[in-house]
Amino acid sequence: MLERSSDGASALAASRVVAGIHSLDHFAYDVPDLNEAAQFYTDFGLDVKRVGDHGLELYTFGNPHCWAKLTQGPHKKLRYLSFGAFERDLPHFEKRVDEANVERCAPLTQDGGIWFLSPDGLPLQIKACEKSSPAAKTEFSATSSPPGKAGAVRKAIAPVAKPRRLAHIMLFTANISGAIDFYSQILGLRLSDRSGDIVAFMHGIHGSDHHLIALAASDRSGLHHSSWDMPTFHDVGLASQLMIEKGHSAGWGLGRHLLGANYFYYVRDPWMSFAEYSADIDFIPAGAEWPAADYTPDDAFSFWGPPPPPQFAANFEPF
């Protein structure tokens, strides 16, 4: 059962947007132990690079783009989000920020752009850069062995499953409707789907997965999970099993989401947030109208899969 979104004004505003970010360029957060972080993300299948004595950068193998920047801090805390836009659109974003009286903040990187705060106080950057989010639906394959040929191989020679790119992140917010309005009006994102004041999903106007960012209800800002694209459902399973074998046994999955329709497995990280393996998420082409809807909670979680673990939706970041 679903109801059409009641955010008529927000939908109308979004339909008139002429400039919008094209990518989630990267995210940055503090962790209390960089060595532990390096081990976790190496096990997860990412290319982890040291930056001096107090930083890490996360890459996917074969791709030069940096998807995340980790720094040493007293506790795990989301530091900022960086969004990519076309250079021609930067004056439009400047104007929106000024006209909406959005609070500016000091730059946290050396690569320029526009820096300001979300309604939850999270620093955001919009910068001119190449599009790193896909412009078309990412290839997904599902193969079956022909008659007379074995589909199984020995684990010792099985290929290692590795993420291809950052797919999206889920943020905590104290006001779902307010956050939808803000990210629509300032960044030009559009609502894909929501479930009341529990969760919402937003996509970009230049061709985007079902969501570049997702929003989850909390009493403050924070990072719920980062999501990483995998080429097949089998790779999601292989990677999840490898994480269990490496001692990262807390997680959720395997399953298939309802909103976005991607196959998933979530791994609990050492700081009580998650890293998600994701495959075959819905894609919204540039210029397409997506029928955003407001789903009841029982129609917003998953087609199938085990129940989520306790405290799956809890925000463990400090105030």
**Which tens digit of pLDDT belongs to each residue from 74-97?**
999 999 999 999 999 999 999 999
Asked whether residue 2 is domain-assigned, the answer is no
Asked whether residue 199 is domain-assigned, the answer is yes
Asked whether residue 245 is domain-assigned, the answer is yes
Asked whether residue 142 is domain-assigned, the answer is no
Asked whether residue 186 is domain-assigned, the answer is yes
How many domains are there within the chain?
1
Q: Which residue has the tokens 């999955």?
A: 253
pTM of the model: 0.92
Residue 8's pLDDT is 39
Asked whether residue 310 is domain-assigned, the answer is no
Is the backbone peptide bond immediately before 254 cis, with ω within 30 degrees of 0? yes
Q: What is the pLDDT of residues 92-151, one digit of tens each?
A: 999 999 999 999 999 999 999 999 999 999 999 999 999 999 999 988 887 777 888 877
**CATH code, domain with 44:** 3.10.180.10
Nearest one of 108, 125, 255 to 116, comparing CA atoms = 125
Asked whether residue 257 is domain-assigned, the answer is yes
Asked whether residue 147 is domain-assigned, the answer is no
- Which structural domain, as residue segments, surrounds residue 217? 8-133+160-304
Rounded alpha-carbon distances, angstroms, from residue 169 to 26, 143, 186, 214, 221? 10, 29, 18, 6, 13
Whether the predicted pLDDT of 54 surpasses 80: yes
CB atoms near residue 185 (< 10 Å): 17
The beta strands (E) that lie in the chain are given as 2-4, 23-31, 47-50, 55-59, 68-72, 77-85, 114-117, 123-128, 165-173, 190-195, 199-203, 208-209, 213-217, 222-229, 251-257, 263-268, 274-279, 283-284, 293-295, 302-304
For residue 75, which amino acid is it? H
Rounded alpha-carbon distances, angstroms, from residue 55 to 3, 29, 50, 62, 297? 45, 10, 6, 21, 39
